[in-house]
Structure 1
Amino acid sequence: MTYAMIGTWQMALDGVAQGLQKLATGDTSGNAVEVAVQAVENEPHFKSVGFGGLPNAEGEVETDAAFMDGDTLAIGAVAGLKGFANPISIARRLSDERFNNFLVGAGASQFAAEQGFTTKNMLTAESKQVWEERVAEVKAKNLSPYAGHDTVGMIALDDQRQMTVGTSTSGLFMKHPGRTGDSPLPGAGYYADSHIGAAAATGLGEDLMKQPLSYEIVRLMGTGLSPQAACDQVVYPFIKELRARFGKAGEFSYVAMNNAGQWGIATNVEFTFAVGDDQHQPQVYIAYPNEDVTGANYRLHEEK
């Protein structure tokens, strides 16, 4: 395997395709991940990431993102960022810093402005309408307001065997202002080590933060397990433990890839993901919960 990419959800497909085009020219995994995540952030129809992301309880879009270089283990992350396009690029820029690698709220926005990143109103008319309708529905029916928490996570392997991972999300719909999930947290939402592999998570951050499973998946791959075996051994016992100790488990999924381009997934919900490499065009697969069986349960996703 020369190069490869995997990304969470069907929304990752175009980004994975763009990232693979970069990798095909000998470009770095870092550039491939940034371009791939940007493709999702820039698409307003994806309501859980970037421009057009669903807002918090006060009607503002707050974004979280992270970038990790598997060669150097450098990390950059932002949380509660407001008013800037492409938070993945801001996170990547932070990964170049020796200090102040994780910035939140006003501090993240200040850094972005100082670095000349593009300001943007991230709330679209469509997302505002969805928010207004949900506010009215919650009040009228006394419902829980929270819905929608799908992070895009991208993993890339380049022809120099460098691995990079990136995440981006607008977080939990109608979240409390300042709420941050797992997506920008190293070890929980993502982890990359070019000597081994990388992993990324998507789903309910409140549960995904309870153990650093992305790191644990990478650690187990380092002992010789395949990405699929590592996902199986880490994720499904955690789901059972959550239910036993916490009473329930939110919906979440993990993707992983090693530095040979092999990949694996684990999920407790119907989950789509996109994957491709130097020998295969990017395709979308759909996976199903498979908690009591070794090995992933997935198939090619067919458009309806």
Structure 2
Amino acid sequence: MKNRRDFIKLSALGGVAVLTNSCLTSTNENKIRQTSQKKIIKPIVISTWNHGMEANVSAWKILSKGGSSLDAVEAGVRVTESDPNNSSVGLGGLPDRDGFVTLDACIMNHENECGAVAFLQDIENPISVARKVMEDTQHVLLVGKGAKQFAIEKGFKETNLLTEKAKIAWEKWKEQSKYQPVINSENHDTIGLLALDENGNLSGACTTSGMAYKLHGRVGDSPIIGAGLFVDNEVGAACATGMGEAVIRIAGTAIVVELMRNGMSPYEACKEAVARIVKKHKNLTNLQVGFLALNKYGEHGGYSVYKGFNYALQTKTQTKMIDAKFNRK
């Protein structure tokens, strides 16, 4: 039989438990209440680097008329893919060390449907091929000759992607054939674009010609769902730019979205993902990575390993470039 002292102890512990549960319930209810009271900024589109400004213009034409985020992200990055003056995406992209321009891209909508192509040659707009993979097949990723064959069957035209400017740069590079990544070269790289439409739906797109003078056959993070791009309509979306191998090693954009799910802001989530990259790599020389994120409320943020990463923003009231904060100069 329990004595009076034991009874008092149990009563006290029970009281603490009730109080703790009450406090936790109250805290959770406050969080839910605060979240439900947030004003949602929509539509909104954000994209990586200076070339994101032009991409945003095309995306905004769709979003401002009540169009879908999926149509917007595809239209936006197609602008960059078709710009012969951009040497890191699509037409005009710098080739691999063997002189071939190979393209990677992926797209993802609010229903977690996604499509991607990698090591695709002679097709100007890989993002549109990626969308066809998503919508017309049961697959997510097609690569190489198979991706090109699929594109041709879907009506895409073959295009010589190696411009004269890119060819001259490649021939000059061959004089030394030294591979050395350059941080923020000409302030452009992969373009990642994220959008939230009037219906509250998120989509994202990511496309690149990859590292200049890479090994023939190399594929980076851009066509990989959860690395170069990830979208979860309950939470938010994220994209990545920079050294793809580093992004793949931490499943970068999936991590960013999960961090947002657990309560971090887009900025905080991007910062934490960069911190993980810094921690996981002993040598950070020329290892630039930037993350960009957008949540369900239209809140956005970016962060990079080194100084120099920026992103373009377009809303009903703002059109501007934003310099992302960074881990080191």
TM-score by length of 2: 0.82
Equivalent of 1:51 in 91, 94, 101:
91
Equivalent of 2:52 in 12, 24, 27:
12
Runs of 4+ in 1 over 4 A off after TM superposition: 145-149
Q: What is the rounded CA distance, in whole Å, between the counterparts of 2:83 and 2:137 in structure 1? A: 32
> CA RMSD, aligned part only?
1.7
Identity percentage over the alignment? 35
Q: Does 1:242 align with 2:286?
A: no
Secondary structure of 2:166 counterpart: helix
Deviation of the 1:248 alpha carbon: 3.2
Paired amino acid for 1:8: T
Asked whether the 8 Å contact 1:202–1:254 carries over to 2, the reply is yes
Q: Which residue is 1:300 aligned to?
A: none
- Give matches, 1:110-129, under 5 Å: 110-129=149-168
Q: Which residue is 1:31 aligned to?
A: 71
Asked whether the 8 Å contact 1:6–1:156 carries over to 2, the reply is yes
Asked whether the 8 Å contact 1:199–1:255 carries over to 2, the reply is yes
Q: What is the rounded CA distance, in whole Å, between the counterparts of 2:180 and 2:114 in structure 1? A: 32
Q: Does 1:254 align with 2:291?
A: yes
Q: What is the rounded CA distance, in whole Å, between the counterparts of 1:51 and 1:73 in structure 2? A: 29
Q: What is the rounded CA distance, in whole Å, between the counterparts of 1:248 and 1:129 in structure 2? A: 30
Asked whether the 8 Å contact 2:179–2:213 carries over to 1, the reply is no
Equivalent of 1:228 in 239, 262, 267:
267
- Give matches, 1:86-235, under 5 Å: 86-138=125-177, 143-144=178-179, 146-147=181-182, 150-235=189-274
Largest Rg, 1 or 2: 2
Q: What is the rounded CA distance, in whole Å, between the counterparts of 1:224 and 1:97 in structure 2? A: 36
Deviation of the 1:136 alpha carbon: 1.0
Equivalent of 1:272 in 303, 310, 318:
310
Q: Which residue is 2:300 aligned to?
A: 263
Equivalent of 1:81 in 120, 127, 144:
120
Paired amino acid for 1:122: L
Deviation of the 1:288 alpha carbon: 4.3
Deviation of the 1:211 alpha carbon: 1.0
Q: Does 1:21 align with 2:61?
A: yes
Asked whether the 8 Å contact 2:118–2:143 carries over to 1, the reply is yes
Deviation of the 1:145 alpha carbon: 5.1
Asked whether the 8 Å contact 1:190–1:199 carries over to 2, the reply is yes
Secondary structure of 1:96 counterpart: helix
Secondary structure of 1:182 counterpart: coil
Paired amino acid for 1:94: V
Asked whether the 8 Å contact 1:47–1:127 carries over to 2, the reply is yes
Q: What is the rounded CA distance, in whole Å, between the counterparts of 2:163 and 2:131 in structure 1? A: 25
Deviation of the 1:223 alpha carbon: 2.0
Deviation of the 1:290 alpha carbon: 3.4
CA separation of 1:109 and 1:241: change in aligned 2, threshold 3 A? same
Q: What is the rounded CA distance, in whole Å, between the counterparts of 1:265 and 1:176 in structure 2? A: 30
Deviation of the 1:100 alpha carbon: 2.4
CA separation of 1:131 and 1:145: change in aligned 2, threshold 3 A? farther
Cα-to-partner distance string for 1:62-88 (whole Å, 9 max, x where unaligned): 00000011x210110000000111100
Secondary structure of 1:37 counterpart: helix
Asked whether the 8 Å contact 1:236–1:266 carries over to 2, the reply is no
Q: What is the rounded CA distance, in whole Å, between the counterparts of 1:285 and 1:228 in structure 2? A: 12
Secondary structure of 2:312 counterpart: strand
Asked whether the 8 Å contact 1:61–1:123 carries over to 2, the reply is yes
Deviation of the 1:6 alpha carbon: 0.7
Q: What is the rounded CA distance, in whole Å, between the counterparts of 2:259 and 2:134 in structure 1? A: 25
Paired amino acid for 2:298: G
Q: Which residue is 1:302 aligned to?
A: none
Cα-to-partner distance string for 1:96-123 (whole Å, 9 max, x where unaligned): 1452220000000010011111221111
